[in-house]
Every structure is written in structure tokens, then in C-alpha cells.
């Protein structure tokens, strides 16, 4: 039975720990179903604690307690301690000096389908301890502000567990009786227990090395199952790239002599930055040109970089409590975004990041689970590993860099590391370092950490021809969010450029200033402020929020002609793309209105003209060119409407796609043929760009149901030697009427059935199919032998892809998609609560749909809430979705 009133944890209630753990020696005797854990804790009373308690409260869940010994010689009995489902309270521990507590318990990794703590993944034992998984291994002070030195000894069968890994340096190893062996690892750096890691299994290893800027040799090892070792080369090179980049950009050198990565098939997250032993979802390690797309290659490098960068922004300096999660995640996401931009295309990377933020994080901000990047309360911390904490958190860090400049930001980060190395700190400590290093007051800026919601930036223009001035009046508002009705003004950096009517840049000079520049950062600090530019002989076109300088929604009345002008002339790569997106959005929304009012759809000629200019321009960055040819997604379009009309959005967007394909088919054919070549294994910007261009052209052309184009798609699918081209062609075959659709799907499965990550793509492609029989296909795939409800990757590839990536069919008016998702969440709740709660996201935005759909979505949330065994994870999301609170 569930707890009807699970406890809410509040930031305001934070107190320092009563006790600290100076060191811990862990001994594991490994077994799939009965692992023995002996922990020897050296504890001291925390001098900073104001509590008068003499009891030690340790946290532990799903553990079988066997022994408790105090100071090596006093065996404690039940009269000395109190045990509950999640705590072990030991009464009257020594107060005046350090003491040793030895605890022996056992756990069952095989039964641990939640994949927290120590669990079994495809025959391999591994751990996931962030956020609160360590308490499922042994009793401990499982909180990030208790930093401890770990020594870990692993003992296991030599055949089943030939590789035994943990954090730090390998200190000793040896043989035991009965074909067993042991290895001892010692981590010289204090760390919270969420950074502990253990891996044991039959693994192969790819080895390399890296020489640091100070001349130290670092051994690099990537472990994977033997048949996957040939897919680890890109991850290794990505790791070396990240190590070099962090030295060059942040001056951060790696501190241990060994850095290890392990690829795990069953994993709730993308990866985990455990000190010196990163555990990764295979999705973000394994790549070979024939099995991974260009997108996969880029994201592997980004995630490898992210976890490596955590060594300083998360490990050496960690968070005091889980409310401060964005301290490490927001900063590290910003760092990995910049790393990827430097390695690929800054313009494309920025657009991709913002596109995801505006499509998904803005929806989170507008929903019942809206929260600041530093939340003030939670029931289950796993629910706050969100796009708000990560992606919006990164945007907040980016704004700091924008305000301080690159040099000032580096000064601030250097001071932050210098002050807090080896400490567990807060978001305020990070901002304090930026303030001190730059002699600036960031008091108002701190509101970004405590206020939820997406601010709305309204822009009004007034040009005075006689005075040759342009006045921009900027106003900021923020809608109410759960728990926050009234919002104070934020400090918002708004980067602005001005463009003359001939397309040249107009210099920006504010009244009273002598210097001018091609763009300027306006600092909006009030609810409304006016900024006047002078020396403008003609009224310029305003390029607002260049580079997406703040995570806000812009309200600025623009004509289609003005948007087309910006698409042709804006020198800011983000705003040029954005102008095209807004142009297409306005036209699609007009067509939506036509459908709703039973009017015949006709494509506005200005869309044809704008598209033609893009097609005939010579673009040096072909990947950027491909983004300019891409229309806004159905999800992004839905995010902009007060009431989502699923069918009308889909029909209107498809009409634009087909109309453009019909009008420009000769140009698109030529572009496809020009860029269609075999460059498998080549990942330079030119090769990646050519693949992106040809595949977007094939996507347009496939809407025409032309026999020759269908043959092109089939030939590309059959002849492709890289996954980008093969899956691109298969997508066009699956999403359009194609005679060979079933044959191609069967052929693809036959070819790749032994490659789990490729089969994930196969599932996801069918789950997101727009054809009429999509839902029936999803139901059929649920029964497929390759589907596994205990594997998070497989769940995300089918259930997640359908509910979050197929709005047309998930939101079917009869509610069948909602009932399907409700069934799966109830099933997942007992298997893996984390995954179950994340699947719930597709139902939380029920208030944005029509009344009929609202009733159907709420009915599923209510059904989920009545589940007797409902987890805290699922309860929190479902209850808040049904009862959003505004105070």
C-alpha cells in the first residue's frame, strides 16, 4: 500500500548533518542474488551541528541487516538501535571523539529492477547512486554534504566477474579459494556517496592515454561487453578531446592517474560522473558508422564531455543539498554545449539547444510541475532531474557569461574553484564568486534561481525620423506558476542588432554614449524600460535577443515581409534561423485557422519566395543550411497555441511541406543528387552537412508519392553503409505510402537484431510514424520478443517515443493513446518508478487541450493515483498534475 501522505522535503528546513563520516572501508562479496556488504565507518560529531541528539540516524532501503558492531568490539543488539523501512537509528553513540561503526548487510541485485543502488544489467553488476541510491547498498549518511574518503574491496567469482572496478586507484589484488579473487580500490579525494561506483562483470577494455598540460600521463580505459569493443573508439577520442578542451578553456587538469568509463545496457540516465569511474548508458558510448547516426556521434561526444567536465563542476566542487542540483548540472551542461559548439558548428549547436529548450522546457515551465532551477520543495528528488534544472540552468549560466564577458566569467570560475575545491556548496556560492571576481552586484540576477516560469519579453518600437532615433520599450512579465503567483523583475540581458533596409548593419549607439557597435547588450532590470538609439538616418529593422541571449518568449509584432527580410539579411545566425521559424509558424497558424473555419488552404506566396532565397544562397555551413530548410515541429507549434488543435497543426504543417516539395521539386532533386554520395566513416563538417542536406531533401520529396523518389529512398536504404543514410531513408519509407514499407522494416530488423541500440531506433521509428495504423503498430510492438519493459532504453524507444514524439496519434480523440500510457505507467511503477514518472510527462499538460481530451487525460491520472502500490516518484507528478497550486 502506498503512503497517502508522502513527506515533502523543503529547502528552508536544511540543517547541517549531526555527524560526519571521515572515512569508510567497504567490502563486497558479490553475488547476483545475495551480495554481502560490510561497511566500516569512521564517524565524528559535526562541530557545526546545533543538535543535542546523541543518536546516529543512518539511511537504508531494501537492506537485510545482519550485524552492527561499535568500535570493533561491542556487538549491538536491537536494544541499542531502532530499525525502520528506511532508517537505522543507533542510540547513544560516542560524542567526544571519533568512533567506528561496522555494519554488515545483504542485498539482492537481481531483484533490483528500479536500477538504483547495486543492480544486475545483462549479467553485469553495476551501481547508480545519484541521487539517493547508495542507501540501497548499505546504511549511510546518504546526503551530498557528507564527503568521505572511500576504500573499496570487491570480491567475486573469477569467471563471472573477471573485471572488478571501483573509484580511484587500484591499490591491491589477489586470489582466493573456490575460484574467487579480490581487488582493493582507494579514492584519495573526499566525495559524497552519490559518486560511489562499483562495476563487476565480463568486460573487454579499450585502453589509451592522455598527457596533461603539466606532463602527467593519464591512463584511459573504456569497458564494454566484448562484442561492443569495436564501437568504443569514438568515445575514447571524445574523452581526449574533452580533457584537452577543459585545460585550454577552463585551466582544469584531471587529478587521478586513471579515468574509466563503463558502458551499461540497463540505465535510467544518460551517464553518471562517479569519481574516476563513469558509468554510461551504452547509447552514449557505442558508435560505429554503420550503427550510429551523425546525431549519435555528436551526442556521444557531448555526453562524454559532460561527465568528464563534472570532475570539477560536480565532483571536486559538489552540491550541498539536492536543491542545489543546478549548481553542478546547469554549469556542466553549459560547458558541454560550448565544447560541442567548438568541435562542430556553434550556430547549429545553439539552434539545436534552443529548439529543445523552447519545445520541451518551456512546456515544463507552463505545466503543473513548473519549478525554479533551484526548487524549494520536493517529494522525490528523482523527479527534479528536469530540463529546467539542466537546460534552463545552463541558460542562466550562459547569461552570466554574457553579462560578464568571457574573460570575466573565467575569472569568476577560477575563483569558484579556488574557494570551494573539496567542498559541498550552494548556487549562491557560485554567484558570489562571479560577483567578487568582477566587482559586480548580481543580487537581482539571483532571482533566476528562485523564480519559476518563462518570462515574456514584450517589445515596442518608436522611430523618430526628425531626431534620427529609435526607442525600444522592453517590458517583462512572468505568468503565475505553482506556488508562485507574483514575480519580481529579473535582470535580463537582451542582445540587440539593427539592420538597414539594404541589409547592411546599422551601428548601435545609445543616447548619451560615444561608442557604437554592431550589436549591444541591453540590461533589462525593471518591469518596463526604454532604450533609445541615435544616429539612425532611416528606420532600421530590429534583430532582438540575438543568440537567444535569455530564456524568454519574445512578443514583437512583425509582418511576414519583415520576417522574410531578417531571414535574408540578419547576420546573427540564430536570429536568421528564428526569422524563418517565425515566418513558417505564422503561415501555419493561418492555415490552422483556415481549417478551423472550413476555409480552403492556400500557401502564402511569401513562404515560397523566402524558401527560394534560402535554397539559392551559397551556404558555407551545410548543416546550418539544413536547419534553415526545416519547418518548426508539431510540438513547437503546439507550445505556442493557447489550446492545442492536434489534427489541424498536423494537417496544416503537412500541407506546407507538400506545397514546398511540389514547387521546388526540381531544385530539391538536384540538391539531393549533388550531395548523395558514400562518405561513410567521414565526420568532417562537409560530409555531415551533405548527409543532412540530402536527407532533408529526400524528406520533402517523399511527400510527393512519386515512383522515382520512392525508388531513390529504397536504393538509399539498401545501399547505405552508414546509419544516418539508412535510417533517414527508412524514415521516409515508413512515414509515407510506400509499397516496400513492411519489407524494409523486416530487412532492417533482420540486419540489426543483435545490435540493441539500432533496434531501439527501429522501435522509435515505428512509434513516431504518422501513418493511420500507427497505434495498432505500437500495440503489436509491445508484444514483440525484443521489447523489454525492464530496459529503460527500450521503454523510451517505444512508449516514450509514441507518447512524446507522436502527438497526432497519442492525442487521438478517442483517448486510446492516453489509456495505453496509463496502463504502461501502472506496470512500470512496480518495476522502475523513475522511468514510470518520466513517462507521465505526456499527461501533465492536459489543461492545454480541448475539454474532451482534458477529461480523458485526467481520467488516466486519477486511475494512476488510485494504484495501491504507487511510488513516491509517480505520486508526486500525478498529484501535482491533477492539483496545481498557485499561491
Which residues is 105 bridged to in the sheet? 37, 65
* 3-state DSSP of 639-664: HCCCCCCHHHHHHHHHHHHHHHHHHC
Whether residue 74 contacts residue 100, with contact meaning beta carbons closer than 8 Å, is answered with no
For 316, residues 6+ apart whose C-beta sits below 8 A from its C-beta are 189, 255, 417, 421, 422
User: If we measure between CA atoms, which residue out of 630, 487, 492 comes closest to residue 554?
Assistant: 492
Whether residue 391 contacts residue 334, with contact meaning beta carbons closer than 8 Å, is answered with no
DSSP string, 843-872: TTTGGGS-HHHHHHHHHHHHHHHT-TT--H
* 305/337 Cα distance (integer angstroms): 9
* 301/306 Cα distance (integer angstroms): 9
What single-letter DSSP state applies at residue 123? T
Residues known to be catalytic? 307
User: If we measure between CA atoms, which residue out of 219, 217, 181 comes closest to residue 200?
Assistant: 181
User: If we measure between CA atoms, which residue out of 799, 784, 731, 735 comes closest to residue 293?
Assistant: 731
User: If we measure between CA atoms, which residue out of 308, 221, 302, 224 comes closest to residue 263?
Assistant: 224
Whether residue 607 contacts residue 660, with contact meaning beta carbons closer than 8 Å, is answered with yes
Which SS3 state, helix, strand or coil, does residue 250 take?
Answer: helix
* 343/205 Cα distance (integer angstroms): 26
DSSP string, 286-311: ---TTTS-HHHHHHHHHHHHHHHHTT
Whether residue 315 contacts residue 195, with contact meaning beta carbons closer than 8 Å, is answered with yes
Tell the burial category of 240 from Cβ atoms under 10 Å away from its Cβ (0-12, 13-18, 19+).
middle
Dump strand ranges (E) for 742-885.
Answer: none
* 264/282 Cα distance (integer angstroms): 5
Orientation angle between helical segments 851-865 and 816-831, nearest 10 degrees: 20
Which residues is 506 bridged to in the sheet? 498
* 172/700 Cα distance (integer angstroms): 61
Taking the CA atoms of residue 163, residue 167, residue 171 and residue 174 in that order, the dihedral angle to the nearest 10 degrees is -30
**Residues in the chain, how many?**
887
* 161/207 Cα distance (integer angstroms): 19
* 672/708 Cα distance (integer angstroms): 13
Whether residue 800 contacts residue 834, with contact meaning beta carbons closer than 8 Å, is answered with no
CA 776 remoteness from chain centre? 30
Whether residue 425 contacts residue 319, with contact meaning beta carbons closer than 8 Å, is answered with yes
Whether residue 541 contacts residue 459, with contact meaning beta carbons closer than 8 Å, is answered with no
For 48, residues 6+ apart whose C-beta sits below 8 A from its C-beta are 16
Query: Rounded to 5 degrees, what are φ and ψ at 237?
Result: -65, -35
The Cβ of residue 771 has, within 10 Å, a number of other Cβ atoms equal to 15
Query: To 5 degrees, how large is the angle CA 758–CA 233–CA 754?
Result: 25
* 568/288 Cα distance (integer angstroms): 38
* 639/626 Cα distance (integer angstroms): 23
Cell of 412: 569568476
What single-letter DSSP state applies at residue 207? E
Amino acid at each position: 500500500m502506498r503512503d497517502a501522505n508522502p513527506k515533502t522535503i523543503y529547502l528552508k528546513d536544511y540543517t547541517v548533518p549531526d555527524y560526519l563520516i571521515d572515512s569508510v572501508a567497504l567490502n563486497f562479496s558479490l553475488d547476483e542474488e545475495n551480495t554481502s556488504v560490510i561497511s566500516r565507518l569512521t564517524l565524528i560529531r559535526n562541530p557545526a551541528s546545533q543538535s543535542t541528539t546523541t543518536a546516529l540516524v543512518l539511511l537504508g532501503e531494501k537492506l537485510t541487516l545482519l550485524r552492527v558492531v561499535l568500535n570493533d568490539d561491542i556487538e549491538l543488539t536491537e536494544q541499542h538501535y531502532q530499525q525502520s523501512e528506511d532508517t537505522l537509528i543507533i542510540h547513544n553513540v560516542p560524542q567526544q571523539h571519533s568512533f567506528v561503526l561496522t555494519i554488515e548487510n545483504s542485498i539482492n541485485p537481481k531483484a533490483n529492477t528500479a536500477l538504483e543502488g547495486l543492480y544486475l544489467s545483462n549479467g553485469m553488476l553495476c551501481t547508480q547512486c545519484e541521487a539517493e541510491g547508495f542507501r540501497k547498498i548499505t546504511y549511510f549518511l546518504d546526503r551530498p554534504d557528507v564527503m568521505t574518503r572511500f576504500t573499496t574491496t570487491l570480491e567475486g567469482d573469477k569467471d563471472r566477474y573477471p573485471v572488478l572496478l571501483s573509484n580511484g586507484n587500484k591499490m591491491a589484488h589477489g586470489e582466493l579459494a573456490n575460484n574467487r579473487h579480490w581487488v582493493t580500490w582507494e579514492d584519495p579525494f573526499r566525495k559524497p556517496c552519490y559518486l560511489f561506483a562499483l562495476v563487476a562483470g565480463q568486460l573487454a577494455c579499450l585502453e589509451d592515454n592522455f598527457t596533461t598540460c603539466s606532463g602527467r600521463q593519464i591512463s584511459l580505459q573504456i569497458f564494454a561487453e566484448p562484442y561492443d569493443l569495436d564501437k568504443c573508439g569514438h568515445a575514447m577520442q571524445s574523452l581526449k578531446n574533452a580533457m584537452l578542451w577543459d585545460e585550454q578553456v577552463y585551466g582544469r587538469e584531471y587529478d587521478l592517474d586513471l579515468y574509466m568509463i563503463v558502458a551499461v545496457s540497463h540505465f535510467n540516465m544518460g551517464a553518471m560522473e562517479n569519481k574516476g569511474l563513469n558509468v554510461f548508458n551504452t547509447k552514449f558510448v557505442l558508435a560505429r558508422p554503420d550503427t550510429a547516426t551523425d546525431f549519435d556521434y555528436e551526442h556521444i561526444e557531448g555526453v562524454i564531455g559532460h561527465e568528464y567536465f563534472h570532475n570539477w563542476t560536480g565532483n571536486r566542487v559538489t552540491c550541498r543539498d539536492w536543491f542545489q542540483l543546478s549548481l553542478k548540472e546547469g554549469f556542466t551542461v553549459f560547458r558541454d554545449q560550448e565544447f560541442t559548439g567548438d568541435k562542430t558548428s556553434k550556430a547549429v549547436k545553439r539552434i539545436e539547444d534552443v529548439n529543445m529548450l523552447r519545445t520541451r522546457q518551456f512546456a515544463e515551465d507552463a505545466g503543473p510541475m513548473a519549478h525554479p532551477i533551484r526548487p524549494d520543495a520536493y517529494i522525490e528528488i528523482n523527479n527534479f532531474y528536469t530540463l529546467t534544472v539542466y537546460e534552463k540552468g545552463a541558460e542562466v549560466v550562459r547569461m552570466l557569461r554574457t553579462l560578464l564577458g568571457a574573460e570575466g566569467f573565467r575569472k569568476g570560475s577560477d575563483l569558484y574553484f579556488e574557494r570551494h575545491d573539496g567542498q559541498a556548496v550552494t548556487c549562491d556560492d557560485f554567484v558570489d564568486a562571479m560577483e567578487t571576481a568582477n566587482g559586480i552586484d548580481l543580487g537581482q540576477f539571483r532571482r533566476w534561481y528562485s523564480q519559476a516560469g518563462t518570462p515574456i519579453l514584450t517589445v515596442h518600437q518608436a522611430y523618430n525620423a526628425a531626431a534620427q532615433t529609435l526607442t525600444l520599450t522592453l517590458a517583462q512579465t512572468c505568468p503565475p506558476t505553482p506556488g508562485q503567483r507574483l514575480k519580481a523583475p529579473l535582470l535580463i540581458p537582451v542582445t540587440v542588432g539593427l539592420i538597414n533596409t539594404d541589409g547592411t548593419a546599422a551601428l548601435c549607439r545609445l543616447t548619451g554614449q560615444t561608442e557604437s557597435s554592431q550589436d549591444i547588450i541591453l540590461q533589462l532590470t525593471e518591469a518596463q524600460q526604454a532604450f533609445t538609439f541615435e544616429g539612425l538616418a532611416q528606420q532600421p529593422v530590429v534583430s532582438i535577443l540575438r543568440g537567444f541571449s535569455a530564456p524568454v518568449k519574445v512578443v514583437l509584432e512583425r509582418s511576414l515581409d519583415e520576417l522574410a527580410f531578417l531571414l535574408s539579411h540578419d547576420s546573427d545566425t540564430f536570429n536568421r534561423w528564428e526569422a524563418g521559424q517565425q515566418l513558417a509558424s505564422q503561415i501555419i497558424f493561418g492555415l490552422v485557422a483556415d481549417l478551423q473555419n472550413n476555409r480552403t488552404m492556400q500557401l502564402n506566396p511569401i513562404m515560397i519566395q523566402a524558401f527560394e532565397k534560402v535554397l539559392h544562397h551559397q551556404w558555407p555551413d551545410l548543416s546550418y543550411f539544413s536547419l534553415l530548410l526545416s519547418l518548426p515541429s508539431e510540438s513547437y507549434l503546439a507550445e505556442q497555441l493557447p489550446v492545442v488543435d492536434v489534427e489541424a497543426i498536423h494537417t496544416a504543417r503537412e500541407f506546407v511541406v507538400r506545397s514546398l516539395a511540389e514547387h521546388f521539386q526540381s531544385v530539391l532533386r538536384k540538391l539531393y543528387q549533388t550531395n548523395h554520395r558514400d562518405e561513410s566513416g567521414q565526420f568532417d563538417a562537409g560530409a555531415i552537412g551533405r548527409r543532412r542536406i540530402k536527407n532533408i531533401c529526400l524528406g520533402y520529396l517523399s511527400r510527393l508519392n512519386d515512383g522515382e523518389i520512392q525508388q531513390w529512398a529504397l536504393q538509399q536504404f539498401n545501399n547505405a553503409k552508414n546509419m544516418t543514410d539508412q535510417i533517414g531513408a527508412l524514415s521516409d519509407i515508413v512515414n509515407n505510402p510506400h509499397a516496400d514499407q513492411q519489407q524494409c522494416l523486416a530487412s532492417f530488423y533482420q540486419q540489426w537484431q543483435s545490435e540493441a541500440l539500432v533496434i531501439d531506433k527501429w522501435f522509435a521509428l515505428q512509434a513516431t510514424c504518422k501513418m493511420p495504423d500507427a497505434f495498432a503498430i505500437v500495440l503489436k510492438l509491445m508484444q514483440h520478443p525484443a521489447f523489454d519493459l525492464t530496459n529503460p532504453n527500450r521503454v523510451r524507444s517505444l512508449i516514450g517515443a509514441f507518447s512524446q514524439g507522436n502527438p497526432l496519434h497519442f492525442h487521438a480523440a478517442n483517448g486510446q493513446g492516453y489509456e495505453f500510457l496509463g496502463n504502461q505507467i501502472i506496470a512500470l511503477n512496480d518495476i522502475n518508478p523513475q522511468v514510470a514518472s518520466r513517462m507521465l510527462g505526456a499527461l501533465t499538460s492536459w489543461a492545454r487541450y480541448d475539454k474532451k481530451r482534458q477529461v480523458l487525460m485526467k481520467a488516466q491520472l486519477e486511475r494512476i493515483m488510485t494504484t495501491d502500490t504507487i511510488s513516491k516518484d509517480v505520486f508526486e507528478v500525478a498529484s501535482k498534475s491533477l492539483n496545481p497550486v498557485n499561491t
